Amino acid sequence: MDTRTFLKSLPGFEGFTPRDLDALAAVTQVRLYPKGHQFIAQGEQGQALYLIMTGAVLMTRVDELTGFRQERELRAGETFGLLSLLDNLPAAATCSALDAVSAVSLPRVEFNELFDAAPTVGHHLLYLVAIQLARDLQDRNTSLRSLLREQAHAATMTMKAFNPNAPGPGRRA
């Protein structure tokens, strides 16, 4: 399948004009990556957005506050590396090939040039970046709330250990 046809088949891309799809296809690259290839490392600046044509990618995210590890398998038609399109923004997850992967990549430099050739596509990709940032912020807020609850509970238990008559949750002094 050629790049333009593949891009048109992706959710969110099917409404683009042939001119927009041609402009996007012109700045992307299709490559085959071997099993085990690491596309992006969590916490480091990525270099490109990837759209999976064939194969599978393991996305792993470790919450640095709680140590909680999330894994998700990505397949054909899914994307990763959205945050790589922005300068100096660390990747939210590590992405590695579970088997041989064929992917379309859009490097950051070409993404910036895309705004001249196809502003509609560039704006759509920025919208996807905004959604990803919002999801990451929600995940971070959930982790922080959980950590704060754990710390409050530990502080209450410590206080009760030293003073059994101290007020606890739901108990007044």
Domains along the chain with CATH numbers: 3-137 (2.60.120.10)
Is 167 a residue whose pLDDT tops 80?
Answer: no
- The pLDDT of 73-91, averaged and rounded, is 88
More confident residue, 94 or 128: 94
Does this model's pTM top 0.85? My answer is no
Within 23-117, strands assigned E span 29-33, 38-40, 48-54, 57-62, 69-74, 79-80, 94-97, 101-107
Burial of residue 39 (number of CB atoms within 10 Å: 0-12, 13-18, 19+): buried
Identity at 113, one-letter amino acid code: E
- The pLDDT of 7-32, averaged and rounded, is 91
Q: Specify the pLDDT at position 96.
A: 98
DSSP 3-state helix, strand, coil percentages of the chain (rounded to 5)? 45, 25, 30
- Per the prediction, the chain carries an average pLDDT of 87
Q: Distance between CA 75 and CA 140 in Å, rounded?
A: 25
Is 170 a residue whose pLDDT tops 60?
Answer: no
Asked which of 31-35, 134-138, 143-147, 168-172 is least confident by mean pLDDT, the reply is 168-172
Do the strands 57-62 and 69-74 form a parallel or antiparallel pair, or are they unpaired? antiparallel
Q: Specify the pLDDT at position 171.
A: 55
Q: Specify the pLDDT at position 40.
A: 95
Residue where the block lists tokens 């409050």: 152
More confident residue, 24 or 136: 24
